[in-house]
Amino acid sequence: MSLLLKNILLPLEPFALEVDVEIRGRVTAVFGPSGAGKTSLLDLIAGLRRAQSALIQLDDRVLTDTAKGFFVPTHQRGIGYVPQDLALFPHLSVRQNLLYGRKPAGAADRLFGFDHVVEILEIQPLISRSVTELSGGEKQRVALARALLASPRLLLLDEPLASLDAPLKAKIIPYLTRIRDEFHIPMLCVTHDRSEALALADEIIVLVNGQVLQTGPVLDVFNRPASADVAAIAGVETLQAGVITNSHEGLATVKIHDTILTALAPATGAREVFVCIRGEDVILQRDAAGASSVRNRLPARVAALRPEGALVRVELDAGFPLFALVTRPACAELALREGDPVTALIKTPAIHLVPR
Amino acid sequence: MKKILVCALLWFTVVKIQAAEITVFAAASLTDSLKEIAAGYEKTSGDKITFNFAASSTLARQIEEGAPADIFFSADEAKMDGLEKKGLIDPATRNSRLGNALVVVVAADSPLQIRSASDLTNAAVKQIALADPKAVPAGIYAQAWLTRQQLWPAIEPKVVPTENVRAALAAVESGNVEAGVVYKTDAGISKKVKVACEVPARDAPAISYPMALVKESSQPDAAKKFLNYLDSREAGDIFRKFGFTLRD
Amino acid sequence: MTLEEWQIVWFTAWVSALSTLVILPFGLALAWALARRDWPGKSIVETLVSLPLVMPPVATGLILLKLFGRRGAIGGFLHDRLNFDIIFTWRAVLLALSVMSLPLLVRSARVAFEEVNPRLEQIARTLGSGGWRVFFTITIPLAARGIVAGMILAFARALGEFGATIMVAGNIPGKTSTLSLTIFQDVQIGQDSSAFRLLGVSVVLAFVAVWFSEFLLRRKRKTK
């Protein structure tokens, strides 16, 4: 499947949505902070909104071409949409909701048997219930099933997990991957949650203030953010300005204030960089003894401890603020207290340099 | 300076007390003639005359409910009888001076020829406007005339009853009905209708306009004075000018 | 109550019901357009629709009389070309009741449409429904309570209409006599007992209509 979004220009307040990408791949996440224009982009693709300028083409079918004044109305686009508030029809039963977009039996473009979809999403017991009686997770699955049963060629999902709590999120994600694997429908998911993107998507488009900052495979983008903005959104815990003092055989020596680190040299020959270190990549040790492969051993002092669920976020002063994510048991074993001296170990490939 | 002001104030108050305001409830067909008579009377007497023109049936009903009238001038005896029976008018002041004639009118540009009552039964005449024959004198007179001609059953289905005789006139003027039966005096007022035929006196019922003092009047002396004026020669001339008949 | 009085009640009831049905398609279309769309001149149309509510009914009646009379723009055409008269016939009663009750229907229906979440209509379109199907399967059912309440109000208004009716239809016994016109005339000619009987019927009809409308609206609020 190929979805071409070319020359998209949609003025929003206070910025404009400008997109020019081609989307391939099974599941693509549109990733960015709230209010970046992500929902508007979905509305444009579905034909619910018109752009000042746009060329939207799905496979070989042109849906919108403002240059030629061409516009396929929403109900003829065959694009499924599951909005954030799910929009289940309150005056219809679950079964009636599911069948609302169903093409007549025997239609050539009718995909997915009713029973098949119901089975995959496990909504059989809900069929004759009223929509208003369903729980959050049940509504989610019904909304997904309803969109699927309309035989879409592309499925748009707006923050599919946003309104669910953590246990429920964990329960729904498998359904989404099932849809991906069982029904082979290309999906475009909007999300502002990094773990959702990681869990669902193959490809990712980073959208901030209406601009596409980076596209590519999910892990590539998260591990190698192209700019500080992307890095910040991708949830890199430590982000500091540094200067490369030396670059030799693919390794760079970078200085943050007075602290020296060894990192992989960036592709460009930049001197001034942002240093990106993920909290998960920082190891804490009480004493500095023992040989290891780690190049970066930084003496540091514990500045603050913040529990976050099963983890503890440790803020260290290593000559610059450095964040580490460790498990609670580990924190207890090391008996970490504010003010304690520790050594922070960071592997060289875990330090990512972004030119400023 | 102060003395002049006080004197002027006194003079105005005295004159105001002297000048009376009389309310006359009169049949709609008397509108134009009474207004002209009153204009002249107000100049000479200093009194002010206020009118309430409507169907006599409506006016009688209002007087029964206690409306503040000084004089009642009805278009038929029956309404006056009704009030006299209820003791609401002063019988000594009752006087019937005016008569009228009925005419059939059509719109000024109408091609219809209506020369007698039976022409009203023609298919070309679809609707006829009458002041409500159940209550309003003009309509009651018209129904009496047509009943005597034994044409009422044929004509009744075509009747559009209006609230008073002037409304019947207006209906004919607007062209929404083919014909109407109104007083000769009404036809004379309007340029938008023409008289198709006049109901001969021998066929028509006797039309009589009684006037009387309302007992509950707050200005009986001034009202009686005006009643006398209405009986005078000057008033009579004006009534005749508008087409009323006098039976002095 | 005499047979004649019952006939008047019956006539009033069925012409009022008919007027409510007659204004329904036009009223709903107008309400929807006002609720969902913007267009140049929209505020003028909004004002025009509200006028019969605010103007003296006899004034509205006068305008109708001028338009639909035999010399009027519309009435003249109908009379000359089609030999069709409206003024002083039962059709004029229908016209007066329709015009006077239309604003009530439009106002209620508009609010009802505005309360339907547009997202639901949009999603219905993504599921393949064209405009009309969305309107009848989503918009109308969700707005139904408000629309029905509006219809009942319109019906109640039509039952009690007087000012415009007397201007365009007169009070022709057996042809255009409505409840209100007859009460007025009865009082005029001193038939008070008849007037009070008809007054009683009016009160009962109006009470039932308004109570039912409020009941529907209350139920709507409860299910939200």
Q: Hey, is the C-beta of B58 within 8 angstroms of any chain C C-beta?
A: yes
Instruction: Name the residue among C65, C187, C189 with its Cβ closest to that of B134.
Output: C189
Chain B residues with beta carbon closer than 8 angstroms to that of C188:
55, 57-58, 61, 135
- In this predicted structure, what is the pLDDT of residue B148? 93
Decide if C120 and A78 are in contact by the 8 Å CB cutoff.
no
Query: Hey, what are B156's tokens?
Result: 């009744």
Residue B248 carries which side chain, given as an amino acid letter? Answer: D
Q: Hey, is the C-beta of B93 within 8 angstroms of any chain C C-beta?
A: no
- In this predicted structure, what is the pLDDT of residue A147? 94
Spatial CB neighbours of A251, under 8 Å, sequence gap ≥ 6: A262, A263, A264, A265, A348
Q: Hey, is the C-beta of B49 within 8 angstroms of any chain C C-beta?
A: no
- In this predicted structure, what is the pLDDT of residue C221? 60
- Cα dihedral sign, B231-B232-B238-B240: positive
Interface of chain A against chain C, CB under 8 Å?
46-48, 73-81, 83, 85, 87, 89-91, 100-101, 103, 146-147, 150
- In this predicted structure, what is the pLDDT of residue A195? 73
Decide if C142 and A75 are in contact by the 8 Å CB cutoff.
no
Query: Hey, what are C80's tokens?
Result: 């000359």
d(CA A50, CA A65): 10
Instruction: Name the residue among C71, C170, C189 with its Cβ closest to that of B160.
Output: C170
Residue scoring higher pLDDT (A74 or C1): A74
* pLDDT for residue A176 is more than 60: yes
d(CA A57, CA A129): 38
Average per-residue pLDDT for chain B: 91
Q: How many CB atoms lie within 10 A of CB B85?
A: 9
- DSSP symbols for A41-52: HHHHHHTSS--S
Decide if B175 and C69 are in contact by the 8 Å CB cutoff.
yes
- Identify the residue among A42, A49, A75 best suited for mutation to test binding to C, counting C beta carbons within 10 A and taking the highest: A75
- DSSP symbols for A284-305: EESS--S--S-SEEEEEEEEEE
Give whichever of A118-122, A348-352, C105-109, C208-212 has the largest mean pLDDT. C105-109
A290: left (phi over 0), alpha (psi -120 to 50) or beta: left
- In this predicted structure, what is the pLDDT of residue C224? 46
The residues facing A342 across adjacent strands are A300
Contact indicator for B58, C188 with CB cutoff of 8 Å: yes
Minimal-distance CA residue of chain A relative to C144: A91
Chain A residues with beta carbon closer than 8 angstroms to that of C117:
87
Q: Hey, is the C-beta of C171 within 8 angstroms of any chain B C-beta?
A: yes
Query: Hey, what are A288's tokens?
Result: 């500095």
Q: Report which of B193, B203, B146, B195 is spatially closest to residue B173, judged by C-alpha positions.
A: B193
Which subunits sit against A, judged by 3+ Cβ pairs under 8 A? C
Contact indicator for C208, B81 with CB cutoff of 8 Å: no
Distances from the Cα of A196 to the Cαs of A162, A238, B169, C59, C92, in angstroms?
9, 21, 84, 66, 67
Average per-residue pLDDT for chain A: 87
* pLDDT for residue C158 is more than 60: yes
Spatial CB neighbours of B44, under 8 Å, sequence gap ≥ 6: none
Chain C residues with beta carbon closer than 8 angstroms to that of B175:
69-71
Helix spans in chain B (H): 2-18, 31-45, 56-64, 77-85, 137-148, 152-155, 165-174, 184-189, 220-230, 233-242
Q: What is the DSSP letter of B226?
A: H
* pLDDT tens readout for residues C122-142: 999 999 999 999 999 999 999
Minimal-distance CA residue of chain A relative to C134: A75
What number is the average pLDDT over the span C145-161? 92
- In this predicted structure, what is the pLDDT of residue C223? 54
Q: Hey, is the C-beta of C120 within 8 angstroms of any chain A C-beta?
A: yes
Decide if B159 and C172 are in contact by the 8 Å CB cutoff.
yes
Chain B, chain C: beta-carbon pairs less than 8 Å apart: 43
- In this predicted structure, what is the pLDDT of residue B50? 93
> Using CB atoms and an 8 Å cut-off, which of residues 62-81 of chain C contact chain B?
65, 69-71
Chain A, chain C: beta-carbon pairs less than 8 Å apart: 55
**Long-range contacts of A69-74, Cβ-Cβ distance < 8 Å, separation of 24 or more:** A71/A47, A72/A47, A73/A47, A73/C125, A73/C130, A74/A46, A74/A47, A74/A48, A74/C122, A74/C125, A74/C126
Contact indicator for A46, A77 with CB cutoff of 8 Å: yes
* HEC-encoded secondary structure of C135-185: HHHHHHHHHHHHHHHHHHHHHHHHHCCCHHHHHHHCCCCCCCCCHHHHHHH
Contact indicator for B178, B128 with CB cutoff of 8 Å: yes
d(CA A236, CA A282): 12
B and C interact (at least 3 Cβ pairs within 8 A): yes
Helix spans in chain C (H): 3-36, 42-54, 57-68, 73-82, 90-114, 118-126, 131-134, 140-159, 163-169, 179-188, 192-223
For residue B160, give how far its alpha carbon lies from the nearest alpha carbon of chain C (Å): 6
Q: Hey, is the C-beta of C138 within 8 angstroms of any chain A C-beta?
A: yes
- The pLDDT profile of chain B, 248 residues, written as one tens digit per residue, is 788 888 778 776 665 566 789 999 999 999 999 999 999 999 988 899 999 999 999 999 999 988 899 999 999 999 999 999 999 999 999 999 999 999 999 999 999 999 999 999 999 999 999 999 999 999 999 999 999 999 999 999 999 999 899 999 999 999 999 999 999 999 988 999 999 999 998 888 999 999 999 999 989 999 999 999 999 999 999 999 999 999 87
Which subunits sit against C, judged by 3+ Cβ pairs under 8 A? A, B
Query: Hey, what are A314's tokens?
Result: 């440790």
Q: How many CB atoms lie within 10 A of CB A258?
A: 7
For residue C129, give how far its alpha carbon lies from the nearest alpha carbon of chain A (Å): 6
Give me the helix-helix angle, C90-114 and C140-159, nearest 10°. Answer: 140
* pLDDT tens readout for residues C162-202: 999 988 998 888 889 999 999 988 887 778 899 999 999 98
Average per-residue pLDDT for chain C: 91
Contact indicator for B24, B73 with CB cutoff of 8 Å: yes
Q: What is the DSSP letter of C84?
A: -
Chain C residues with beta carbon closer than 8 angstroms to that of A79:
126
Minimal-distance CA residue of chain C relative to B126: C85
What number is the average pLDDT over the span A256-285? 85
Contact indicator for A354, A242 with CB cutoff of 8 Å: no
d(CA B53, CA B69): 12
- In this predicted structure, what is the pLDDT of residue B180? 96
Q: What dihedral angle (degrees, nearest 10) is formed by the CA atoms of A87, A93, A94, A95?
A: -130
Q: What dihedral angle (degrees, nearest 10) is formed by the CA atoms of B3, B4, B9, B13?
A: 100
- In this predicted structure, what is the pLDDT of residue B13? 67
Percentage helix, strand, coil for chain A under 3-state DSSP, each rounded to 5: 25, 40, 35
What number is the average pLDDT over the span A321-325? 89
* pLDDT for residue C27 is more than 90: yes
Phi, psi of A37 (to 5 degrees): 105, 10
Chain B residues with beta carbon closer than 8 angstroms to that of C65:
174, 176
Q: Hey, is the C-beta of B126 within 8 angstroms of any chain C C-beta?
A: yes
Distances from the Cα of B103 to the Cαs of B100, B137, C170, in angstroms?
10, 14, 22
Which subunits sit against B, judged by 3+ Cβ pairs under 8 A? C
Percent of chain A with pLDDT over 70: 98
Q: Residue A106: which pLDDT band, with cuts at 50, 70 and 90?
A: confident
Distances from the Cα of B107 to the Cαs of B129, B177, B180, B194, C147, in angstroms?
12, 9, 9, 6, 46
Decide if B61 and C88 are in contact by the 8 Å CB cutoff.
no
pTM of the full structure: 0.77
Instruction: Name the residue among B64, B162, B175 with its Cβ closest to that of C71.
Output: B175
Chain C residues with beta carbon closer than 8 angstroms to that of B162:
170
Distances from the Cα of A12 to the Cαs of A9, A15, A41, A47, A113, in angstroms?
9, 5, 11, 17, 40
Decide if A74 and C127 are in contact by the 8 Å CB cutoff.
no
Q: Hey, is the C-beta of C7 within 8 angstroms of any chain A C-beta?
A: no
Q: Hey, is the C-beta of C118 within 8 angstroms of any chain A C-beta?
A: no
- Identify the residue among C117, C127, C129, C142 best suited for mutation to test binding to A, counting A beta carbons within 10 A and taking the highest: C127
For residue A65, give how far its alpha carbon lies from the nearest alpha carbon of chain C (Å): 19
Please report, for chain B, how many H helices and E strands are present, in that order: 10, 11
Q: Residue A232: which pLDDT band, with cuts at 50, 70 and 90?
A: confident
Contact indicator for A130, A93 with CB cutoff of 8 Å: yes
